[in-house]
């Protein structure tokens, strides 16, 4: 009778984050390893950032800017940094996270525009950028228009899917058009 062999994968990861003075989030280092036991042999993988698929630091009162090093976690499928006091602009490096399907940056203090690199994340199916200080036009021609308007609530954003338009795209009548409409009104009276 043949013995059935099994595979065992165990992982050990340490993430070191520090909050300096209660106001700045600093990514200090990442150490990780995965040990795969396959057919009696052990294989050890160290410092494999691609093994990190989820990052949830929500509701931690974190402050400061999101460290660029987090954008090196290219295996991320889900990232939740909501309900903190994070500031700064959303880095264009977010476009490196090609597998990202879930992103929640809501209820922070991010400012500036939405980087166009965010629109290149084709797997992104859940996103929440609400209640920040974001401004400008939502990048067009992408899946970013397919999200509900609540995704962008509490910001100074414009463009689809939001009903508001940019101030320079105001639908008010320009000079000369008012006069023509007034003339039509007088004639119709």
- Domains of the chain and CATH, by start: 7-164 (3.80.10.10)
Q: What is the pTM of this model?
A: 0.66
Q: Which of 91, 134, 80 is nearest to 116 (CA)?
A: 91
What's the pLDDT at 69? 80
**Rg over CA atoms, the chain:** 24
Q: Residue 51: pLDDT above 60?
A: yes
The residue among 13 and 67 whose pLDDT is bigger is 67
- Give how far Cα 110 sits from Cα of 2, 87, 91, 114, Å: 60, 5, 10, 10
Q: Residue 24: pLDDT above 70?
A: no
What's the pLDDT at 74? 85
Mean per-residue pLDDT, 167-176:
43
What's the pLDDT at 38? 65
Distance CA 171, CA 157 (A): 17
Q: How far apart are the first and last CA of the chain?
A: 101
What's the pLDDT at 111? 98
């Amino acid at each position: 009778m043949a013995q059935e062999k099994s595979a065992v994968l165990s992982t050990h990861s340490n993430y070191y984050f520090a909050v300096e003075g209660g106001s700045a989030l600093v990514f200090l280092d990442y150490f990780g390893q995965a040990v795969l036991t396959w057919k009696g042999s052990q294989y050890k993988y160290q410092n494999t950032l691609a093994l990190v698929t989820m990052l949830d630091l929500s509701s931690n009162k974190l402050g400061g800017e999101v460290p660029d090093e987090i954008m090196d976690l290219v295996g991320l499928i889900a990232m939740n940094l909501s309900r903190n006091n994070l500031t700064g602009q959303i880095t264009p490096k977010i476009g490196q996270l090609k597998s990202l399907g879930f992103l929640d940056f809501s209820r922070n203090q991010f400012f500036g525009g939405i980087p166009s690199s965010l629109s290149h994340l084709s797997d992104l199916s859940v996103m929440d950028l609400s209640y920040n200080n974001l401004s400008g036009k939502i990048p067009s021609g992408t899946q970013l228009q397919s999200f509900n308007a609540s995704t962008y609530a509490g910001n100074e954003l414009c463009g689809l899917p939001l009903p508001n338009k940019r101030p320079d795209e105001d639908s008010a009548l320009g000079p000369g058009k008012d006069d023509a409409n007034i003339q039509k009104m007088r004639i119709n009276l």
